[in-house]
Amino acid sequence: MATKPTIDLTSVLANAVRGLRLSERVGALPNVASKRTRALKGRVKGAKAVVSLCPYCAVGCSTLAYVSDEGKLLDVEGNPDSPVSGGHLCPKGSAIFGMTVNEARWTTAKYRAPFATEWEEKPLDWVLDRIAERFKKTREETFVRNLPNGKRVNHTLGIASLGGATFGIEENYLLQKLMKTCGVVSVENQARI
Ligand code: SF4
């Protein structure tokens, strides 16, 4: 009886990958990537990686913000050197780039005047002036120097402050200073809730 010819797959594979660099192989097989695929470059290749911080919660995961030579933000990823997250980001942190570079992002405020039925587009400076006006008016109307028993308190219970979790340490410090200077005693931050 004639014996069937056998193929030594090990030596076939070894010949196929001989002389190929690791990037030219997929495991033990030659990489069949097209010319176009070979010509593609990573989105952040050559970009400057700036160490930054996820602003969304008190965990404080470190990020790498990739910036082009023109100063354009290209991507934001977890920083592998972060001692608290080791390069990982939760879904909120992973969305930093998409939220920052986004054509649908609002750049004006929506304002609806008392009793109005329609929203108006307002510039941010206009909104900041309105907040300052209302803050001052409310403070003046509700500020208490002394309680009925004569105890000096110098406070207002008419205003409360809720800081956003996107605030950094410096912003929270300044907010605390501002609120306490104005006599606001109800000061909280979203990251603690
Ligand atoms: S929101 Fe997520 S990624 Fe950002 S600091 Fe908190 S845990 Fe980290």
How many angstroms is it from 60 CA to the middle of ligand 1? Answer: 6
109 within a domain of the structure (yes/no): no
**Tens digits of residue pLDDT in 126-170:** 999 999 999 999 999 999 999 999 999 999 999 999 988 777 788
Query: How confident is the model at residue 2, as a pLDDT?
Result: 63
Domain identity same for 29 and 88: no
* Conformation bin of residue 118: beta by default, left when phi > 0, alpha when psi is -120 to 50: beta
2 within a domain of the structure (yes/no): no
Query: How confident is the model at residue 25, as a pLDDT?
Result: 74
- How far apart are alpha carbons 101 and 72 in whole angstroms? 10
Domain identity same for 33 and 55: no
Q: What is the CATH number of the domain that holds 56?
A: 2.20.25.90
- How far apart are alpha carbons 96 and 86 in whole angstroms? 17
Nearest CA to ligand 1 atom 2: 90
Query: How confident is the model at residue 26, as a pLDDT?
Result: 75
Domain identity same for 136 and 188: yes
Query: How confident is the model at residue 193, as a pLDDT?
Result: 64
Is there an atom of ligand 1 within 6 Å of 61 CB? yes
- What are the b/e assignments for 156-178, b being 16+ CB within 10 Å? bebbebebeeebeeeeeeebeee
**Radius of gyration of the chain, Cα coordinates, nearest whole angstrom:** 30
Atom number in ligand 1 closest to CA 78: 3
55 within a domain of the structure (yes/no): yes
Expressed as residue numbers, the domain containing 149 is: 124-192
107 within a domain of the structure (yes/no): no
Domain identity same for 35 and 55: no
Domain identity same for 34 and 70: no
Domain identity same for 34 and 71: no
Domain identity same for 128 and 183: yes
Nearest CA to ligand 1 atom 6: 57
132 within a domain of the structure (yes/no): yes
Domain identity same for 169 and 132: yes
User: Cα angle at 107 between 104 and 111, to 5 degrees?
Assistant: 110
What's CA 33's distance to the chain center, in Å? Answer: 35
Is there an atom of ligand 1 within 6 Å of 89 CB? yes
Atom number in ligand 1 closest to CA 60: 5
Domain identity same for 32 and 67: no
115 within a domain of the structure (yes/no): no
**Tens digits of residue pLDDT in 12-65:** 777 777 777 777 777 767 777 788 988 898 888 889 999 998 988 878 899 999
Atom number in ligand 1 closest to CA 90: 2
**Tens digits of residue pLDDT in 73-121:** 999 999 999 999 999 999 999 999 998 899 998 889 999 999 999 999 9
Q: What is the pTM of this model?
A: 0.60
129 within a domain of the structure (yes/no): yes
- How far apart are alpha carbons 51 and 2 in whole angstroms? 70
Domain identity same for 35 and 54: no
- pLDDT over threshold 70, residue 1: no
Is there an atom of ligand 1 within 6 Å of 29 CB? no
The total number of residues shown for the chain amounts to 193
Tally of domains in the chain: 3
53 within a domain of the structure (yes/no): yes
